[in-house]
Amino acid sequence: MERACEPCDADNISALSYREGVILTPKTPFSRGYSPPLRDRRKFTRGRCWRTAAVTAVLFAMIGVAPSTAAPLSVVTAAAKVTPVVFGKTTTNGLHVYTINGRQYGVFTAIHVLTFSGSQYTVKIDIANHSIDGGRQTPSTMCQTTAGCVAAVNGDYFDVTHRGEPDPGDEVGGIIQNCVLLHTPEIGHQQADLDAQSVSEGLNWSSTVDVNGASVPITAINLELPMSYVKVHLPLAGTLLFTPSYALRTPSATGWVTYEFTQVDGSASPTTINTTAELEFVAKTTKAVRVTDGQVDISAPTGSTLATLQVGDIVSMTTTSTAGCDNIGGHPILINRGVVAPIVPADTYMAKPYARTVFGWTASGETVIMIVDGKDGESGATALQLVSLLQSLNVVTALDLDGGESTTLYAKGRVYDRPSHGNERPVSTGLLVVQNSLRNPLAKPPAS
């Protein structure tokens, strides 16, 4: 695990360490629909913090403007568009895989691009072992074990625990998969709506349980709590809901009770967005338990309204979201509908070169996945360089996904990036390109 980011005096920053980077976030616990100010949402970095003045100077140097006359990144336009040099291009049934030369933008490592358009392929979210906090899995394995998958990349950032402790690969952002809200964000986190081909500053969601006429708001869904990372400690707080997709045990602490429910109508997942599920209260416990199939568990303080329930009582739970049926997190938004998004100066992870994974769309609706090889803080691409590369590919909306050693593109039966540590890294989530038919032209044939 990387050494924690020391707080920058100018910004009084606190940090949340990832195995391959550092997310900066307020120390206050999240709440339902939590969305901190833009200045806090953007505080992601890796390695040591720079003071704001130093970062600003570096950014000015990157764009070749004196500090007294420099414009913010949000209005800086890329250099005159240069059509990238394409080589090694492979095209199969409308899906293209190729490498481009980024030297004109100051990127000297390999850049691999996968594109497709039309209805022949769909991008799907996959999670390690098909369970929230269910460990980690390589993108290539996710693809090879999914019917119709032709390609895969790593997904959102994920937390790790201290050395020697279990590593569940706890996801950071929100996840809506096939219209089911599987995971709510740990912190304010940017999101991508795969169906609407759009990006947003956070995940819009709400879930409430009607208990004898009283509405009990759910604070979080399928989050591992309490969490303790470098300079970030999220306590056991609020009303926490867990579904069978949660691979770990529900939390247990003095003054806390877990209420167990069975779903009356099992035809749909209880956290399917924009629906109401009927639940029957069956038991309560103070022990840590795993959620079984067909069950919903809610952990809450002993004084909660849930304490009024009697075995056999029926409650209704309503989950809503405007985020669409397939939604995943990332950081930061690079371009939104043609407008270059601002990057917070303290975000050294985006100011320095790193290996990158980027996902986005062109104005015509073509899907573009781009990875850049690199070594943490030494080679790869900066935010400004990523924007230039994306604009050269006519991308108008793009979100940066987890990068560094997590960067992986798997297609045609091979991994295209060259990880600095030598091996494809297991991750918490991935994005899979799945063919909407039984044929699978790019998948590696099974071993004989």
pLDDT band at 226 (very low <50, low <70, confident <90, very high): confident
Its pTM stands at: 0.81
pLDDT tens figures, 393-442:
999 999 999 999 999 999 988 998 766 566 889 999 999 999 987 444 44
| φ, ψ for residue 411, nearest 5 deg | -160, 155
**What's the pLDDT at 445?**
42
Considering the chain, what is the average pLDDT of its residues? Answer: 80
pLDDT band at 185 (very low <50, low <70, confident <90, very high): very high
Lowest pLDDT segment from 44-53, 270-279, 302-311, 326-335: 44-53
Lowest pLDDT segment from 63-67, 166-170, 373-377: 63-67
pLDDT band at 92 (very low <50, low <70, confident <90, very high): confident
Lowest pLDDT segment from 89-93, 112-116, 143-147: 89-93
Which DSSP helix (H) or strand (E) runs through 55? helix 52-63
Q: Are strands 240-242 and 220-221 parallel, antiparallel or unpaired?
A: parallel
Residues 6 or more apart whose Cβ sits within 8 Å of residue 235: 29, 225, 226
Rg value, the chain, Cα = 22
263 vs 78, more confident: 263
- Own/partner pairs for 198-203, CB < 8 Å, 24+ apart? 198/397, 199/333, 199/336, 199/397, 199/398, 199/399, 200/323, 201/35, 201/38, 201/41, 201/333, 202/33, 202/35, 202/41, 203/173, 203/174, 203/176, 203/321, 203/323, 203/327, 203/329
91 vs 30, more confident: 91
pLDDT band at 3 (very low <50, low <70, confident <90, very high): very low
